């Protein structure tokens, strides 16, 4: 619908498409690459929608021939199921006990190292993982080649858990941690226009007033910006307009999930 109406070849604001990293994201990405070469345990934290996934996808797609990046996204699983997900990523048969899976993973890790490649396991939403499961994974990777880098993407509450004395064994092994901040208005505009450029959509598709309202209402969160832009574009399709104005954006902002709680309390 959006593609045909706006004459686009690709879906606009598609998170699966490769995008240019913003300056602060690029800084985090470059630091992670260094730790991938030296080895370590890295934590990338941030509120939902601040752009952690953008950095994760950049890391996964950076150099797939030299940098092996198995990603675990289902972090509510037990340690056994987490091992099986890792085995699937390495195309290893998952039959047998945990010890068997661990042995095969370690052997594959050393094989990757001998081929001159880097191993960068990624755990997404690591704040949802039980600390005991995280501890077992940390012990598992102790037997991997020392230049591997385990990267945890999580919300800030993970660090609250690791600050507990009982979890000092994990915290003491962290080699790099960073909190991805909310974006400032200029970076939000840069992101919006970069998304337009990625699909060949003119910057004038969104009026200046519409852009200002989108930036203000998104409150520094990339996901909110993306969702608000797509919803406003859908409203423009309904209105049969080629330019998204403040009317379309306001119509989206009237939806309950965009409104503050005090705005929804009846008088």
* Model pLDDT, residue 216: 94
pLDDT at 267 (0 to 100)? 44
Give per-residue pLDDT as tens, 122-174: 999 999 988 999 899 888 888 888 878 899 999 999 999 999 999 998 999 89
Q: Answer whether residue 90 shows pLDDT above 70.
A: yes
Give domain limits for the chain.
Answer: 23-180, 183-264
- pLDDT (0 to 100) of residue 262: 52
- In CATH, the architecture of 23-180 is 3-Layer(aba) Sandwich (3.40)
Q: How far apart are CA 223 and CA 52, in angstroms?
A: 10
> Token pair of 192, please?
């919006």
- Indicate the class that CATH gives domain 183-264: mainly alpha
Q: How many CB atoms lie within 10 A of CB 201?
A: 20
Q: What is the pTM of this model?
A: 0.85
Per the CB < 8 A criterion, the answer to whether 36 and 55 are in contact is: no
Q: How far apart are CA 89 and CA 155, in angstroms?
A: 24
118 vs 113: CA distance, rounded Å: 6
Query: Average pLDDT in the 93-113 region?
Result: 86
| pLDDT value for 179 | 94
pLDDT at 254: 93
pLDDT (0 to 100) of residue 229 = 94
């Amino acid at each position: 619908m959006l593609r045909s109406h706006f004459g686009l070849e690709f879906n606009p604001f598609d998170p699966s498409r490769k995008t240019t990293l913003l300056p602060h994201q690029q800084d985090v990405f470059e630091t992670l690459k260094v730790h991938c070469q030296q080895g370590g345990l890295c934590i990338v934290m941030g509120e939902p929608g601040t752009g952690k996934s953008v950095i994760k996808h950049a890391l996964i797609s950076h150099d797939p021939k030299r940098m092996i990046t198995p990603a675990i996204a289902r972090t509510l699983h037990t340690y056994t199921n987490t091992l099986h997900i890792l085995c699937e990523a390495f195309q290893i048969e998952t039959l047998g006990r945990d010890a068997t899976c661990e042995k095969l993973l370690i052997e594959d890790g050393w094989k990757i190292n001998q081929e001159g490649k880097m191993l960068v396991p990624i755990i997404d939403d690591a704040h949802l993982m039980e600390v005991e499961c995280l501890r077992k994974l940390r012990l598992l990777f102790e037997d991997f080649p020392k230049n591997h880098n385990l990267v945890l993407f999580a919300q800030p509450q993970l660090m609250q858990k690791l600050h507990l004395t009982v979890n000092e064994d994990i915290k003491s092994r962290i080699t790099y941690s960073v909190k991805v901040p909310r974006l400032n208005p200029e970076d939000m505009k840069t992101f919006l226009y970069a998304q337009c450029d990625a699909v060949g959509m003119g910057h004038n598709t969104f009026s200046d007033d519409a852009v200002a309202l989108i930036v203000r209402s998104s409150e520094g969160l990339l996901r909110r910006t993306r969702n608000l832009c797509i919803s406003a574009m859908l409203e423009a399709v309904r209105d049969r307009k080629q330019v998204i104005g403040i009317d379309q954006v306001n119509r989206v902002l009237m939806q309950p999930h965009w409104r503050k709680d005090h705005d929804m309390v009846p008088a």
